[in-house]
Structure 1
Amino acid sequence: MDVAQLLDAARRRLAGVGQERLGEFVQPRRVLGITRAPRIVPRQSIWHVGALLLGADAVYATGEIVRAREEVRRGFTAESQRERAALAGAAFRGGFAEGEVVHLGWEPIDLDALARGEASGPLRVVGGVPMIRWSIAGAEAELHRYLDERVELLRHPPAGTT
């Protein structure tokens, strides 16, 4: 099977499984010269399948993940904590529910490039076999096996993980 067929089969098997949403950073226009706070707005529902975000008609490489939450004044011990809190607040302002998972910095995967033998995101085809690089360290797995495992985990999560 080619990449598109493998992804379509995964979508069919994921029918009825809960989805998460992609978010996109939006800087609102100034109103009467006043800059309003940035927001992260919902764009599309997807299934988070490990290193892939599987939409109804597209696939994306996973980026950053935050949980939306209302902003409150906090003391932070690290600047990275402050930045993540700002992203979570922007998602809440943009319409995500408190605690909802938001995917940011996702990148579309070009299935046509894969068909031409080029890599796109974490996917590539090696000797006719679709492969996925599922970790930063560069570990690769056959896409069909990776999808089988990830879809099964989404359909039947281990006890205590939901």
Structure 2
Amino acid sequence: MSTAELLAAARMRLADAPREGLGELVEPRRILGLSRAPRIVPRGTAWHLGVLLLTDDAVLATGDVLRARAEARRGFTAESQRRRAELAAAARRGGFTEGAVVHLGWRMLDPDAVDRGAASGPLAGVDGVPSVRWSASGGYQPLARYLDERVALLLDPPSGA
């Protein structure tokens, strides 16, 4: 089965499953020399399947994941915490609802390249089998098995998740 066929089958199984927002960071132009706060604007929705984001017509590699929330003054012990809070506030300013999951920094993948034996992000053709690398240090596993597992988790999450 080709990569595109595996992804199409997953889309059919996920038809009623919840989706998460895709966002893009927009740095507004200065007006009269004054800068405005950046926003993360909506760019669609996708099903989150581990290292993959599946849309109606594409497959993407995940980037950063955050929850939109209103801006609040907080003390931070690390600069990375401050940056994540700024991004969460930018998502809220951009139109995402409070608490919505937003994916930022995602990348388009090429399923046809995988079928030709090349790699595209975490996807690759391994011995003629579409496969996915679920972590930077992990090995490849067949995409069909990975999608079955991830779709099942999304449709029926463990209690407490």
- TM, length-normalised to structure 1: 0.96
Amino acid at match of 2:49: V
Q: What is the CA-CA distance between 1:31 and the residue it aligns to?
A: 2.0
Q: Shift in Å at residue 139 of structure 1? A: 2.4
Matched with 1:27 is 27
Structure 1 residue 113, shift from structure 2 partner:
1.8
Once the two structures are aligned, what percentage of the paired residues are identical? 64
1:80 aligns with 2:64: no
Q: Could you report, residue by residue, the CA deviation over 1:36-93 in whole angstroms, capped at 9, with x for unpaired residues?
A: 1110001011000111000000000011101011111100011110010011011011
Divergent runs of 4+, >3 A: none
What is the aligned partner in structure 1 of residue 98 from structure 2? 98
Taking only aligned residues, the RMSD between alpha carbons, in angstroms, comes to 0.9
Q: Which amino acid aligns with 1:64?
A: D
Equivalent positions of 1:3-152 (< 5 A) are 3-152=3-152
Partners in 1 of 2:116 and 2:154 — Cα distance? 31
| Distance across 2 between alignment mates of 1:54 and 1:155 | 14
Distance between the aligned counterparts of 2:115 and 2:135, measured in 1? 23
Q: What TM-score does the superposition give when structure 2 sets the normalisation length?
A: 0.97
Q: C-alpha separation between the residues in 1 aligned to 2:71 and 2:82?
A: 11
Query: What's the CA shift for 1:5?
Result: 0.2
* Alpha-carbon shift at residue 141 of structure 1 (Å): 0.9
CA distance in 2, matches of 1:126, 1:139: 11
CA separation in 1, counterparts of 2:135 and 2:149? 15
Structure 2: distance between partners of 1:112 and 1:35: 42
